[in-house]
């Protein structure tokens, strides 16, 4: 089960070494030894802290575990200077723009360069996306109760971003249903320096970047990406790293949406010092691409174990996943997908009787395997865990087959499942279900073979239990 945790707002995913050290010292005083990173570039505490414990840290912008309606601003500042970027959108420009936003907002805000791939474009309610015109932004809106993302009919001036976002928050009580209604209400409420949209947003395709290890910037600088498998970053390590940043005059640390962080501007002459520091701490900075590009919910052991299982299968079969990203979610998740492939865990069906059921999953993939298209195609439904590795390998092959070519729309989803009752026979030992509609291909049992017609020496296809171990039950799906 996914826990609700205290969140620390980190505006735009950017903080100074001094701010990170203060956070570490504050949570350390609560008896915590680690912190985690969230998908919206915020910081999560590994266990819920009491309100009175948090009050003393007046410099921290804290969102309590049960507090709703407060969101962090996501930005692609983390990519500036190290990945492909819009020419006018420099690291300094991001910092100036982020300063104009308030500390806490009701809506999810994204401030994104469309030429980078590390930070998703459309996961916010308010998505500002840089245009080719200097200091002008496309605005894509998807309010919490909207099903689709709509483009605002004007380009927004850089210094009006917070003004526009605030105006949209203020009109939420009027429950605007269309982007045209939002445009009219905002135009009536504030004066802006809008510009006409003269061409549609173009999002170029780039392979998903490798964001870990020591990498060169220009002639004499390096950037370092750090990723820990369990997303539990040791506080003593982070404090020591902040001291090293002070010594090297490094001003900013950036959190990614992939539960990692990046330090930019390491001087060439200090590269060996950093490598020794990481080595003495036993920090691995060369994880396989197989496990780097996953987005899983924080503090969810089931999701983490499923990821380990799938990555292990990829590794054993020597499968390439370069350019692909994966997400694990469940039926309760309402936020927006932002990975190439999504593994969705289904709600356990209600069994009539005393039988348990195993978990089942659905697989989606983004059109052209590009999550920025915001269109997902259903690949399979209701499959067992043991079937997932083969199906994901199948999708990996499909990705490379169609790489560089356009694919027609298929069954772009949202899929609505019908509730049905099925009479099935379930193995009492391992919970495998024999469905008469499908038979059992592993034992040459054709579809539509009644259970009573199975040979007496029939065995469970998974655990080899005898036919007598199967009991009739009603499966509600």
- SS in 3 state form for the chain? CCCCCCEECCHHHEECHHHHHHHHHHHHCCCCCEEEECCCCCEECCCCCCHHHHCCCCCCCEECCCCCCCECEEECHHHCCCCCCCCCCCHHHHHHHHHCCCCCECCCEEEECCCCCCCCCCCCCEEEEECCCCCEEEEEECCCCCCCCEECCCEEEHHHHHHHHHHHHHCHHHCCCCHHHHHHHHHHHCCCCCECCCCCCCCCCCCCCCCCEEEEECCCEEEEEEECCCCCEEHHHHHHHHHHHHHCCCCCEEECCCCEEEEEEEEHHHHHHHHHHHHHCCCCCCCCHHHHCEECCCCCHHHHHHHHHHHHHHHHCCCCCCCCCEEEEECCCCCCCCCCEEEEECCCCCEECCCCCCCEEEEEEEHHHCHHHCCEEEEEEEEEHHHHHHHHHHHHHHHHHHCCCCCCCCCECCCCCCCCEEEEEEECCCCCEECCCCCEHHHCECCCCCHHHCCCCCECCCCCCEHHHEEEEEEEC
Query: Residue-wise pLDDT tens for the chain (477 aa)?
Result: 345 668 888 999 999 999 999 999 988 888 889 999 998 999 988 776 666 676 667 677 777 666 676 788 999 999 999 998 999 999 999 999 999 997 778 899 999 999 999 999 999 999 999 999 999 999 999 998 888 899 999 999 999 999 999 999 999 888 888 999 999 999 999 998 998 898 899 888 888 888 999 999 988 999 999 999 888 999 999 999 999 999 999 999 999 999 899 999 999 999 999 999 999 988 988 888 888 889 888 778 888 899 999 999 998 888 888 889 999 988 666 557 889 999 999 887 666 566 667 788 999 999 989 988 888 999 999 899 999 999 999 999 999 888 776 544 444 444 444 444 567 788 887 777 787 876 776 677 887 888 888 888 888 877 788 888 888 876 654
Domain with CATH 3.90.480.10 in the chain: 1-121+203-287
Domain with CATH 2.20.28.10 in the chain: 421-476
- Are 3 and 299 a contacting pair, CB within 8 Å? yes
Query: For 1-121+203-287, which CATH class?
Result: alpha beta
CA atoms within 13 A on the CB side of 96: 9
Q: Give the Cβ contact number of residue 252 at 10 Å.
A: 21
Residue 421 DSSP code: E
Instruction: Calculate the dihedral angle through the C-alpha atoms of 142, 148, 154, 155, rounding to the nearest 10 degrees.
Output: 60
Instruction: Calculate the dihedral angle through the C-alpha atoms of 12, 17, 18, 24, rounding to the nearest 10 degrees.
Output: 90
Of 30, 27, 25, the closest CA to residue 8 belongs to 27
Structure pTM?
Answer: 0.80
The pLDDT of residue 335: 58
- Are 137 and 161 a contacting pair, CB within 8 Å? yes
The pLDDT of residue 72: 87
- Are 137 and 156 a contacting pair, CB within 8 Å? yes
The pLDDT of residue 165: 94
At 234, give phi and psi (nearest 5°).
Answer: -65, 125
43: which strand partners? 8, 37
Residue 70 CA: distances (Å) to CA of 40, 59, 95, 107, 220: 12, 17, 21, 7, 40
The pLDDT of residue 234: 94
CATH fold label, 291-402? Sulfite Reductase Hemoprotein; domain 1 (3.30.413)
The pLDDT of residue 109: 95
Domain with CATH 3.30.413 in the chain: 291-402
Q: How far apart are CA 434 and CA 362, in angstroms?
A: 20
- φ/ψ region of 431 (left if φ > 0, alpha if ψ in -120 to 50, else beta) reads left
Q: Is CATH 2.20.28.10 correct for 421-476?
A: yes
């Amino acid at each position: 089960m996914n826990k609700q945790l205290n969140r620390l707002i980190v505006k735009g995913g950017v903080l100074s070494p001094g701010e990170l050290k203060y956070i570490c010292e504050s949570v350390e005083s609560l008896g915590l030894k680690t912190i985690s990173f969230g998908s919206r570039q915020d910081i999560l505490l590994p266990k819920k802290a009491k309100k009175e414990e948090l009050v003393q840290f007046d410099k921290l912008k804290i969102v309590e575990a049960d507090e709703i309606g407060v969101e962090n601003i996501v930005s692609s500042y983390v990519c500036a200077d190290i990945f492909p970027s819009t020419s006018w959108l420099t690291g300094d420009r991001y910092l100036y723009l982020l300063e104009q936003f308030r500390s806490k907002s009701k809506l999810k805000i994204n401030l994104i360069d469309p030429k980078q791939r590390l930070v998703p474009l459309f996961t916010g309610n308010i998505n500002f996306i840089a245009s080719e015109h200097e200091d002008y932004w496309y605005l894509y809106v998807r309010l919490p109760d909207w099903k689709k993302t709509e483009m605002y009919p004007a380009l927004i001036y850089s210094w009006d971003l917070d003004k526009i976002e605030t105006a949209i928050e203020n009109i939420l009580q009027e429950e605007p249903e269309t982007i045209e209604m939002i445009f009219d209400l905002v135009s009536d409420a504030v004066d802006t320096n809008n510009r006409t949209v003269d061409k549609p947003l173009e999002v170029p395709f780039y392979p998903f970047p490798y964001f870990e290890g020591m990498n060169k910037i220009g002639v004499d600088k390096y950037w370092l990406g750090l990723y820990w498998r369990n997303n539990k970053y040791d506080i003593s390590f982070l404090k020591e790293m902040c001291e090293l940043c002070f010594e090297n005059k490094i001003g900013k640390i950036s959190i990614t949406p992939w539960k990692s962080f990046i330090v930019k501007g390491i001087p060439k002459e200090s590269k060996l010092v950093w490598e020794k520091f990481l080595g003495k701490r036993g920090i691995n900075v060369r994880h396989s691409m197989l496990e780097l590009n996953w987005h899983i919910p924080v503090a969810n052991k089931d999701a983490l174990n499923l990821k380990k299982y799938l990555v292990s299968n990829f590794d054993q079969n020597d499968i390439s996943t370069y350019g692909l990203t994966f997400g694990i979610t469940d039926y309760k998740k309402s936020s927006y997908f932002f990975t190439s492939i999504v593994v969705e865990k289904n709600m356990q069906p209600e069994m009539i009787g005393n039988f348990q059921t195993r978990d089942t999953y659905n697989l989606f993939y983004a059109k052209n395997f590009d999550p920025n298209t915001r269109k997902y195609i259903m690949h399979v439904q209701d499959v067992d865990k043991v079937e997932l590795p083969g199906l994901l390998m199948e999708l990996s092959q499909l990705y490379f087959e169609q790489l560089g070519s356009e694919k027609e729309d298929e069954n772009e989803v949202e899929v609505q499942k019908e509730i049905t009752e099925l009479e099935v026979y379930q193995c009492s030992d391992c919970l495998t279900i024999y469905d008469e509609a499908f038979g059992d291909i592993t034992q040459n049992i054709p579809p539509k073979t009644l259970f009573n017609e199975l040979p007496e020496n029939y065995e469970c296809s998974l655990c080899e239990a005898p036919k007598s171990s199967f009991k009739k039950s009603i499966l509600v799906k």
